[in-house]
Amino acid sequence: MSESSASRPLKSPLLEQARQLIRAKHLSIRTERAYINWMERFLRFHREKADRWVHPSEMGNDEINAFLTHLAVDGNVAASTQNQAFSALLFLFREVLKTEFEVKAVRAKRPQRIPVVLSLDEVRQLLRNSAAIISS
C-alpha cells in the first residue's frame, strides 16, 4: 500500500452510513472524525492482512480483538487511545451493523498515577524525616 493511499480517506457507503448515524445521534464533530478515522484504520488493517477489502459484516470477534491487540502490543498506544478505538468499533458493530461482539484483546495498561498533592500525614512525615536528616 502506498503512503498516499494510506492517508487518503475511504469513500465507503458503510462509513457514510456511520457518519449519518453519528450525526443523527447528535455526537460532536470531533467524535465523528475520531470514530470514522478508527473505522478506516480498522478496515485498512484487515485489508493489509487479507490482501483485499473485507466488509466488517464478514468479520467477527477475532478480527476486532486482533486489531485492538495490535494497537496495544505493536502500536504501543495509551489505554485511552485504545479505548477510543474500541468505542468506535463498538459504534460500528452495534449501531451501524446491528451485531454484538466480545472483546478478549490485550488491553493497553493505564499508567500508575502519582499524587500531585501530599496528604497532611505525608507532609508531617516528610517534615519529620527532613528535620532528622538536618539534625544528624
Only one residue has cell 502500536, namely 75
From CA 135, how far away is CA 133, in angstroms rounded? 6
Q: Total structural domains in the chain?
A: 1
pTM listed for this prediction: 0.72
Q: Which residue range forms the structural domain that includes residue 57?
A: 3-135
Mean pLDDT, residues 37-56: 91
Which one, of 82, 3, 92, lies nearest residue 40 by Cα?
92
> Position 69: which residue type?
T
Could you read off the pLDDT of 55-92 as tens digits, one per residue? 998 998 889 999 999 998 898 888 899 999 999 999 99
Backbone angles phi, psi at 69, to 5 degrees: -65, -40
Indicate left, alpha or beta for 66 from its phi (over 0: left) and psi (-120 to 50: alpha): alpha
From CA 39, how far away is CA 136, in angstroms rounded? 63
From CA 96, how far away is CA 129, in angstroms rounded? 60
Confidence grade of residue 134 (pLDDT, cut at 50, 70, 90): confident
**What percent of the chain has pLDDT above 90?**
49
Task: Please report, for the domain that includes residue 15, its CATH number.
Answer: 1.10.150.130
